Structure 1
Amino acid sequence: MSAHTIFDNAPIGSIVAWSDGTPQPPARFNKKLAAWQTSNSRGRLIRKQRARGVGNLSLSACFTLHEADHGAGGVIAIRIHRTFSLDSSLTFTIVERPAIGLVRVFDRAGDDAELVYLATHETDAREWLTRHGYPRAVLHEVTADEVGADIVEGRTAA
């Protein structure tokens, strides 16, 4: 799939994989493998941003994937996010869509909102919010209309 397809069809909270089409090098080649993983990995779709202008600068539409968290003892020290513009030459695949009934916790309302947590139900989401300070957080439940649209329209779910 193209980046446009992901932007148009993948619901926020989906697991999306990306690839440049090159074969994975053997594990013994640490540097080659690390470089390959930059262009071949997966992450959770946390944000979609439409094209926008900032002064004289025009920014194209893009989406952001949360690839990984690094830390120790329950403390996240580094969070890895990857942002892709819609003109990316990589190939994307929707690996998993969020299940119906899950609750997405966004850091704020509006088009610039970013997914910060995917809860199993509303009580879980509200309990998570008491421990993580997001005073403008917004909750949205994953609906059958959103996830099931591909089946109704005759497309494959993945």
Structure 2
Amino acid sequence: MSAQTIFDTAPLGALVRYCDGRPQPPARFTKKLAEWERSNGIGRLIRKAPKAVRPSFRSPASITLHQGDLSRGPVVVLTIQFTFSVTSNLVFEVIETPMPGSMRVLRPYGDHIELLYLAPDRRAAEIWLRSTPYCDAVFEEVGVDEPAAVLVSGRAA
């Protein structure tokens, strides 16, 4: 599916795979492998930004995937996120949607919202929030009635 389809249908917290269709090069070709890894990966959908029209520029709608954190002990040193325009040529697929009953920890981010954490339940979300500096975060429970019927390789997710 396209990035536009992910933007339109995938819920925040969904695990999304993206690829460019090329086979993975052998490990001995380090530069080719690094280039391939930039266009092929898996990340959690944390942001859907609407298109922006400003006097000096225009930007299409986009999705942001969180791929991971690099940390030293309990301190996160670097967060790895990739943002893709809805006009991207990459192929995307939802491989997992958030479980009903889990809690999204969200915060306002400009004119949209950003997923900070996907907790298995409210108690875990509250514990996580107490250990972070986000004062404007809110909880949202993943409902049973959320549209989660995004097809993945011919089956319902």
Calculate the TM-score normalised by the size of structure 1: 0.90
Residue number in structure 1 paired with 2:63: 63
Q: Once the two structures are superposed, what CA deviation does each residue of 1:21-54 show, in whole Å capped at 9, x if it has no partner?
A: 0000112222211110000011000000111222
Q: Once the two structures are superposed, what CA deviation does each residue of 1:79-105 show, in whole Å capped at 9, x if it has no partner?
A: 111111111000001111111111000
CA pair 142-110 structure 1, distance change in 2 beyond 3 A: farther
Q: How big is the alpha-carbon RMSD for the aligned residues of Structure 1 and Structure 2? A: 1.9
Helix, strand or coil: the match of 2:42?
strand
Deviation at 1:156, TM superposition (A): 3.6
Counterpart contact for 2:43–2:65, Cα < 8 Å: yes
Residue number in structure 2 paired with 1:157: 156
Distance 2:91 2:109 in 1: 30
Matched, 1:54 2:54: yes
Counterpart contact for 1:100–1:147, Cα < 8 Å: no
Gapped regions of structure 2 (runs ≥ 5): none
Give the AA of the match of 1:117: Y
Counterpart contact for 2:3–2:91, Cα < 8 Å: yes
Matched, 1:28 2:28: yes
Q: Once the two structures are superposed, what CA deviation does each residue of 1:80-133 show, in whole Å capped at 9, x if it has no partner?
A: 111111110000011111111110001238852111111111111111111101
Q: Once the two structures are superposed, what CA deviation does each residue of 1:128-151 show, in whole Å capped at 9, x if it has no partner?
A: 111101111011111112144558
Identical-residue share of aligned pairs (%): 46
Distance 2:149 2:36 in 1: 34
Matches within 5 A, 1:1-158: 1-108=1-108, 111-150=111-150, 156-158=155-157
Moved more, 108-117 or 49-58: 108-117
Distance 1:142 1:4 in 2: 22
**Which one has the bigger helix percentage?**
1
Distance 1:144 1:111 in 2: 27
Helix, strand or coil: the match of 2:112?
coil
Distance 1:99 1:74 in 2: 26
Deviation at 1:157, TM superposition (A): 2.3
Distance 1:43 1:70 in 2: 15
**Which one has the bigger strand percentage?**
2
